Structures are given as C-alpha cells and as structure tokens.
A and B are shown apart, each in its own frame.
Chain A
Amino acid sequence: MSKTAEMITEELIRSLAPNQNAIANAQKISRTGGFSTLYQTENKDLIFGECKGSGKSGYHTSADFSGDTPVFRCSCPSRQFPCKHSLAIMYEWVNGKNFEVAEVPEDVAKKREKITKRKEKAKEEEKNGPKKPSKTSLAAAKKKLQKQLEGLELAETFVTDLLNRGVSSINGSSSASYKNLAKQLGDYYLPELQAIMMEIITVAEELSEQPDDKELNRLVMLCVRLSSSVKKSKEYILTKLESDNVQPEDSILYEAMGGIWKLTQLKEIGLYKENARIVQLSFTVLDDSIHKAYVETGYWIDLDSGEISRTENIRPYKSAKHIKSEDSAFGVYHIPVLYRYPGGINRRIRWEGMEQTDLEDKNYEEILNKAESSIGEAVKKAKNELKNTLSEQVCAMLLPFDNIKFAATDGHGVLQYQGESIGLRANENYREVCNILHLEPEEVLENGALLGELFYDAETRKIYVCPVSIVTEKGIAVLC
C-alpha cells in the first residue's frame, strides 16, 4: 500500500532536512505565509504548491509519497536536498493549513512515469543476473590499476626517504617538497595514501615547533602504516593484473586505495544480508581534519547476529552544505537488503529502504543477550583486529558488566564482569565520555552492556575501553 502525506510529522521533517539551517528557513517560510497556493491530490499521496522566492516568479514545490521513499521536487536553484521549500510545504501540512484538492500536475505525472520505468528495468536486470563488465570498462580498470601502481612507487619513495633521513628530520624546505609529492599522488587515484602522507607532514610540522615523544611515536606509526599499505597494495594490484581479474573483491584494500563501493558490486560478491533487524547504539559527528571532512558515524547492532557495524556519512568541508547530514536513529530498523563492506569486526553497512518500529523492552533484552560472553574473550577478538596495521586503531564491542565503578586514585571508570575488570578511558574521538559516565545514575551503571571502542595504549601497554553508550533493560544511555 502506498504512503500518504498523513505520515508527515515534525520529526519526519527534521530527519529529512539536510541541516539545521534548512529547518529554520523552512519554518520561516511557513510562518510568514510563503506559499501562495497549496494543493493535495485526492488520495493525499502528493502535496504541492507555489512558493514565493527571491526570484520574480514563484517556485513549484511538491512532496510525493506515492513510492517507497518520499520524493521532493522544487523548481528553485538550491543544491540542498530536500530544499527549504520542500520542507516548508511539509510544515504547512503539519500546521494544518488548507490544501485544496487538485489533479496531479503534468510535470509530476511525467516524472512519476519515469520512476516506474526505471524500477521495471532494474527488476528485469535483477532477473537476468548481474551485467557483465564491458571490454572498455575492463580496460579502463586495468589502466587505473597500472596508474595506481605508479603512484605506489611514489609513495614508497616518500616513506623510504623519510625513514632513511629520520622522521624527525622534516623541516621547512623538506616539508614543502614532501607536500608537493603528496599532491602529486592525487593524480594516481590513491586518496587514502595521500591522506596518510598529508597527516605525516602535518604531524611532523607540528613536532618541529613543539617536540613531543608521544607525537613522534605517532609519526613513526603513520610511516609504518603507509609502508605496509604500499606493500600490500602493490601485492594486491600485481596479483590482480597477473590473474586478469580487475574487478573489486572482498578486501579492505580496495577502499584503502580509494575505491568506492557500489551497492550492486557488494551484492555481486555476496556482501549483503537479507531481512536484517538493526538498532543504533550511538551516533556522533567526528571532525576529520586530515580528510577535511565531517564523518557522521553510527554504531549499530544486528539483533540477530549481534554483530556491531557502523554507518559512515562523509561530508567533505567543501561540499558539506550540500550533502544531507544524518542524525541519530531511534527504533528498530527492518532492512530488506543490508549491504556490508569488506572488513573485520566493525564492518561498514549501508541500505536503501527500511521500515522502522519502536524499540520495546524485549529488544533491549535481545541486545543485552548479544553482548560478548566475557571481557577476556572480547579483548582477544579485539587484539586480532587491532594488530593489523591496516585496520582501524579502535574496535567497537558490546561488553557485558555487573557494574561500572570508579577508581579511588584518579577516578577513572572500571568495568567489572564476573571477576574480570577493564579500565575505561576516553580516546581522541570521544573526549568527554568518561566525564559524562561519572554523571550517569546508579541504575545505568549496573547490570548492563557497554558499547565501547577497545584500543591499545602503547604508553601503559594496556588495552582500554572508551565508553560510547550503555544498554540497560530499560533503554540506551548514549554518552557522546
């Protein structure tokens, strides 16, 4: 059954808005009577109207609920999607403004028709199986790999030179030539390696101004990471070229070398799950200054397998305004096809369509039951992940606990479960979480499960957990 405009709520508008400004602007348009005409179709699956704008003629705005997901159309020149006018027409609906009944406008009808045709085509393609890559695309993929191989040589020169001279030797003039080299890497389709190089240069420049042992070690670690990436990427490319199989495969190297996965590709290599039920355990926006982007990260738990996955919405600074920002998600997401990226414990996930239901007490119980069996077991799994030079430096896991207490010496949190205990410390991504943990009420700190990022601290030679959220029988207390 198709949806109607009746489903519009303030919450829905907020979740659809690309950013806070768009919401404020839409509210302003609605408050000041921006719409000169407002219409709805008889079955309420489309609302549309004309809105005053800064141009001489008004904009034709519509919100179409006839498909699986709402479609917003507007004749304004904004690159934001949905634009403030589309949001405003929904505010008009929520505010109970009078919408006259009218026929579907001609242009909307045509666009609806196109969507239907596209869907039919997609269905047919699915029946016939995946399309075989053309000769041209295979040649292009091969050419790209060759080019990447050349780039890897450049990166290798960079890291070899740096280690030969010593990472602390970077100064004004050498930093400029290294930067040039890093810039050159942009021509070789290796953005990830380029980012590591830029990070190395930035850290080295900071170090030359303010020496710091910890940062120096970080610099060495970055060089090692770069060296390993170069080495493994070379092997990967050479194997691919030799075997003549240039299509992406289930390996984190594809992404590490700047590859961008298409959902169809993930499906082709079997990286998907049907009818998944997932719940978000935390959501935060991280400022990744190295990649010059905001990374909206959500940790999710699969209610059936207990797997902890993550969603990532990357919004580069330059185009952040035009990319829809994501927000926290509440409830159980029922996802027909959940796509999973290659990776270790916390795979990246994506999906296209979903249904949402409210979280119930039984869901919290389900989550608690999916926590790791012991701290020791969790640490063992995490170590396997963390020791890989190419994987993330943190590994998110759901740890059960009898209680969380605070150390008498410095007040750091200690998670205790069945005789085992592990220290809780903040990390770079979540600086305030431990202070917030102190403020949580007693009932949150007893008999629950903690979603935390396990990480290794070289200084103390210990594994710690950076708390992110706590699940209890009654709910989820997010700490970030």
Chain B
Amino acid sequence: MDVNTFYELRTRLYATAAAGCGLIAEDFRLKRALEAFKPMSEANKVFGRLYQMCEKLFHTENVAGELADCIALADALAVTQGSFLDKSECVEEEDKLCLKPQIIANRYLEEVKTTLSKGEINIQHDVQKDIQLMLEPRVFLCFIQNLKQETDSTRSLAEVLLPHLGEAIIPVLKKQIDLETNSAKNKTAYYIRLICQLFGYQENDWYLSLIEEEGYPKSIRVAAVNALGCSEKNVPKLLELYKTQKGDVKTAVILVLAKLDPPEAEDIWKKITKKYMVPSSDSAYDLPQSTIKVIEQSKSDICAEFARKLVVDAIEMGKRRYGNKSKITTAETRCFNLAIRTICRKPQLEDCFMLLAENYKYIEVLNTTFYSRLNPRNDLNQALISNLLEEDERYIEMIKNLYKVHKEFYFPARFFLALKEKGNYAFMEYMEEIYDNRDDVINILRSISYDCIQGGYYLSWWCISDMGYNYQSRSRLKIFEEISEEVFSFITDTSYFAPEKQDKNIATKLTKCQRACSKKTKDTIRTVIQLFDGWLRYHITGSKEYQKCVNTALKFAFAVNKYCSTGAEIDILVDYYANGTPEEYRDMFTNYSIQSILSGDGHIWSIHMKGKLESMPLSYEDRKKALLEVKEIIEQFENIDEKNKKEMLSKTDQVLKSTYTT
C-alpha cells in the first residue's frame, strides 16, 4: 500500500482550497491524485470514506463545504498516520556547563529578562545569589543572547562569568551567530570576538572555516579575520588571504597584519603609504580610514616614519598658524588629527611625544571644534596608556622619560602606570599631584571595577586606536584588594567647592557659592558623581566596600547639593538615601534650584525641575510646598534681571500647575 498517494491527495485538496474550488470540475491534478488513491481506499474503511467524499466534490453544488469536510478528514487521517519514532544518532555531550535550574516565579523571571534585554545587568549586593541567578538556564540563555548589545554592564559580567565556565560555553556562543543576515544589523559577529578573547588560537580552525565560506555575511567573515590576530602563527595564512580576498575582508586582513607586524608585510606598508608620503596639496592628508587604521596599528619603521613626518608637519603648521586669526585650512586640521591618531603603538616615537608637549601651544591652535578633539593632551596620554596593553618595556620607559621632562603634561599616563605597577600605593606616591590633576585621576578611577567572583579591584582600559570598541584589545589588571582610605578621601574631597566655614549671612554665602561653582568645578563634580553612579550601579557592587562607598557618595552628594548643586547629585540622594524626611528632600530640591539660578543655569533648571521633583519620593502636598518655596526664593533675588525672573516664575507656575494635575 503506497501511503504517498494519500499525502498527494491531501496536498491537492489544500491546493484546490488555495486556488479556489469554483473550477474543480477541470482540476485534473486532483482527479489524478484521487485515482491514484483508489487502491489505498479499498484497503481501509476510513480511507474509503475519504475517497467517496472526494469523489462527491465533482458532483455536488456545495463544493466549498464538502471540500472543507474532505480536508478536515484528510487532516485527521494524517495525524493518525503520523509516526513519532526518532531514530537520530545521538551524541554524548562531553562538557556540560555548570548551570542549575532554580525555582523562579515567572513575574520575576520576566523582570530579569527585561533588564537583560536592555543590557542593564545589575549585580546586587548579595553576589552569590545574583551569580546563581545568572546560572539558571533560562536566565543564562537570555544573558548570552543579549551579550551582542555590548553594553558596559553585560560586557563586565561576561568578563567575570564566562572564563569560569570552561570550553562548554563554546557551542552555546557559536549557536548565537547568525550566518544568514548579511546586514549591518547583524551584531552576532560579537560572539566571534568573544570566543577569540576567551579561547584564542584554540578555535583557529573554526575562524578559518568562517572566512573560507564566501556565502557567510561580510561582518562574520571580517570578525573571523580579526580573530586570526590572536596568534603570530597565522601570518602565512594572512599573507595568503591578502592575495586571495577582496573588499572588506581584505581590508581586515591588512589591519590584522598591521597589528601582528611581521617583517614579510613591509612591502604592503610601503605600497599603502607611498602615495601619501609627499604632501603637496589640500588633499595630501586625506587618507582613507582603512589606511589610517593600518598606520595606527603598525609598529614598522615605515609607518613610524610616516607618523613622525605628520607630527613635524603639524607642529610647523601650528607655528605658522599661531597668532594668525584667519580660518584654519582643511589640510591643517587633517594633519593635526592624523598626527595625534597615528602616534600610538610606536616605541620609536618618544621624541615626537617630547616635541608635542614642548610645542603644545602651537598644536592646540589646530584643534578645531569641527574635528571635535576636546583635549589633545588627553588623547596623547590615552595613546601612551593604550600602549601599555602590550607588555613591552619600551613603552614603560617611554612614559617614565616623558614624565621626567614634562611632569604635568604626561601625569595621567604616569599615574596610570603607577596604578598598574603599585596599586593603592600610587595614591601615596603622587599625593600632591593627584589633587592638582583631579579630573585626570577621577577619569582613570572610573575604569575600576570589582570582580565579584575572584574578588579584588581591576583596572580595565582600551586600545585607543580601536576607538574603544574592540573587545580583543580591552585589558584588565588587578590593582588592589580593597579601596584604600586615600582613594576615598581623594574622591570625596570637597575643598575645591565648599567653603571652609559656613557663613551665616545668606547673601555672602550665596556669593561665595556662586564664585566656587565655576563651570570647570561643576564639570569636575559631575565627573565625580558619574564615578559614584557607575561604581554603585555596576562596578563595585558586591564588594565589601560597597556600603562605605554608598556612605561617602551620599556625604559628597549632600555637600554638592548644599554648595554647588549640579542636579546630578539628586539622583544619588534619591536612589541611595533611605528614609529621608519630606523636609530633607524639599531642601535638596530647593538647593538645586537656587544653585542653578545663581550659576546662570536657569534655563536648564526650568527644563529639569519637574523631572527632578518627580524623581523624589514626595507626596503631592510636599511637591507643592517645594515649588512654592522655590518661587519665594526667586522673588527675593535682587541680582538677576526682571525678564529672567519673570520667565523663571512663569516656568515654576507651569510646573506647579502640572503638579496639580498629576
């Protein structure tokens, strides 16, 4: 008995329904299928019934109804015929992840999943419990699937969690890669970078297999080429790929060769830099991004010479430009940017760093807002810091030599090196300098994070040439077991904005505050608040210093609120200050409002006012009281012009009105 005739008949019935049964009398395919089914229908009663019903289709007036009945019966028969035995050959899974199912209520699970899907993982204070939660299979899968968003928090947790899971994680990560979607939206190339970071050369054959499959998305193949950069053993293969590949894949091959810098690639660098070596016109410094990246990466003498020439040209241009108020040319800004960008990863260029520091005033004039380099000094220090990714003594010597001659200019790089080498002790060694270079140190401290599995604080940093986005070039280094008192007292120092003695005279007090709250001071305060926010939210949660950090953050935030409010401190106060009274919260809001008005931020204040007020745990009545208080203060102000005053009062009224309606 040929069962296929039944399935063929069923398929034809479906086709008739799809095409319409109006012309069923001429449907010879259905007739043929029915004929073929006849022998089978004779063997079984139910099949026989189906045959009769189908036959009737050609003679009835209600074809649609009868056709539906035929399909219903055919479907029921198909289900009855359905087999279930699965004879697939099965594999024994050698390595299993150490995951553990847990009892989690659906509502909580969904909450966790939503947080993960936003990339906002927040390890709370009960670290073991949180880690256990991540190791629940449903949560773990969601965590892995959302890693591709590459948010800071998911990345940090991946760094901490994944290395402990062993090789069993490899198939799970590989499964996340989308080998179908050939678009920029395919973010799954990230998993190749992750596997490379965790397992490096061990997965080399797999990287090669991805590159060789030309049908795979470009982003996947490029990521696989980048992964080949994990070992110098890949140089011959990369040189071969240089000859055989084209487009983005070839560009990636050149870049990886630049990172590995084998002598065999010299000809490639010569070829790439040749046409840009002699600047003659405005387009002279107009290098394609891919070439710039190669020069950034390569340590070869050819690329170093190219970078040196750019530095010398930039300084010359700066000298000519100094004091000249005419518009800066495109060639000048391009040359300046290239000089700053290409100077990293070149131990031969200590003299260039010296030159740049000596001629900084000339260099600075070329820094146009159009190219938005906010601070070339910071970029030069970042270049030195990113060099420390490589354990190359020459870079360490370079920083030390530069600091000897240009103490203030290269302090950030020197302090970073000290932290890397001596941990907490760096704060004692550079006690004076850290207060003079507060912003630099705070910015470095922002990259500290606590490893809640192994314990201890780690410093992480990126290679500047990869614009901070290349996971491969991110490095972590344990710098201390605990945060020392010196660090805490440095961060929470308020001497630069809080008056030593409190003045009882309101007018004098306000004038003092106004003077203290310069834009620069406020910027520094904001950076400190951001540091606390990052530490408390992600970076140091789970550490034993967490509570101490909460307390110091609150102390600092209260001081800021009192003397130099930026508004940012209110978030810390609302999130971490438990059981504050309505009066306290009202005071916080009032302080913020006064400071904003005094420092000329009245406009920003009016925009943020409502949001800040709503983020506070205040009742309707208290909110109203706070706003009325602010209104009263504005009315008392004498040193702001009437128009501004009126505008502020009307804004307050608007908020007051909306408070009534919410």
Contacts and interface: CB of A to CB of B under 8 A. Distances in A.
Contact of B101 (A224, A389, A409, A478): A478
B607 interface: no
Interface stretch (B36-44, B88-96, B153-161, B428-436): B88-96
Interface stretch (A60-68, A258-266, A362-370, A435-443): A435-443
A18 to B, nearest CB: 11
B279 interface: no
B405 interface: no
Nearest to B86: A423
B82 A163 contact: no
Interface in B17-34: 17-22
Interface in A161-191: 161-169
A436 B18 contact: no
Contact-size category for B = 35 or more
Interface residues of A, number: 80
B86 A475 contact: no
A81 interface: no
A231 B85 CA distance: 35
A479 B138 contact: yes
B482 interface: no
Interface stretch (B64-72, B210-218, B224-232, B597-605): B64-72
Contacts of B83: 461-463
Interface string A32-72: 11100000000000000000111100000000000000000
Contact of A421 (B71, B78, B85, B172): B85
A244 to B, nearest CB: 28
Interface in B98-129: 98-101, 103-107, 110-111
A1 interface: no
A462 B82 contact: yes
A436 B138 contact: yes
Interface in A423-480: 423, 432, 435-436, 438-442, 444, 456, 458, 461-464, 475-480
Contact of A409 (B84, B89, B620): B89
A476 B137 CA distance: 13
Nearest to B74: A224
Given A220-B18, A224-B75, A407-B90, A461 B7 contact: yes
Most buried by A among B19, B63, B76, B138: B138
B372 interface: no
A227 B68 contact: yes
Contact of A32 (B91, B618, B662): B618
A303 interface: no
Nearest to B107: A327
A166 B20 contact: yes
A475 B93 CA distance: 23
B98 A389 contact: no
A31 B617 contact: yes
Contact of B96 (A379, A441, A456): A441
Contacts of A376: 84
A406 interface: yes
B361 interface: no
A311 interface: no
Contacts of B92: 405
Contacts of B137: 436, 439-440, 477, 479
Given A34-B619, A421-B87, A462-B84, A20 B99 contact: no
A231 B106 CA distance: 40
B138 A167 contact: no
Interface string A330-349: 10000000000000000000
Interface in B557-586: 578-579, 581-582
Nearest to A283: B106
A323 interface: no
A464 to B, nearest CB: 8
A439 B97 contact: yes
Interface in A205-228: 216-217, 219-221, 223-224, 227-228
A168 B18 contact: yes
A463 B93 contact: no
Contacts of A432: 138, 141
B467 interface: no
B85 A420 contact: yes
A414 to B, nearest CB: 5
B596 to A, nearest CB: 24
A405 B90 contact: yes
B71 A220 contact: yes
A438 B84 CA distance: 21
Contact of A164 (B22, B175, B582, B662): B22
A442 B94 CA distance: 10
Contacts of A441: 96-101
Contacts of B82: 383, 456, 461-463
Most buried by B among A28, A217, A423, A439: A439
A456 B82 CA distance: 7
B140 interface: yes
A163 B68 contact: yes
A463 B85 CA distance: 8
Given A53-B620, A285-B110, A461-B78, A164 B84 contact: no
A462 B107 CA distance: 35
Nearest to A389: B72
A293 interface: no
Interface string A222-258: 0110011001000000000000000000000000000
Contacts of B76: 387-389
B67 A440 contact: no
A233 B140 CA distance: 47
B78 A375 contact: no
Contacts of B106: 283-285, 327-328
Nearest to B103: A330
A387 B579 contact: no
B14 interface: yes
B452 to A, nearest CB: 22
Contacts of B65: 156, 160, 227, 231
Given A163-B64, A432-B141, A52 B79 contact: no
20 contacts: A32-B617, A33-B581, A160-B64, A164-B63, A168-B18, A220-B17, A220-B18, A220-B71, A231-B69, A325-B107, A375-B84, A383-B82, A407-B86, A432-B138, A440-B101, A441-B100, A461-B81, A462-B82, A463-B79, A477-B101
Interface of A: 14, 20, 28, 31-34, 52-55, 156, 159-169, 216-217, 219-221, 223-224, 227-228, 231, 283-285, 325, 327-328, 330, 375-376, 379, 383, 386-389, 405-409, 412, 414, 420-423, 432, 435-436, 438-442, 444, 456, 458, 461-464, 475-480
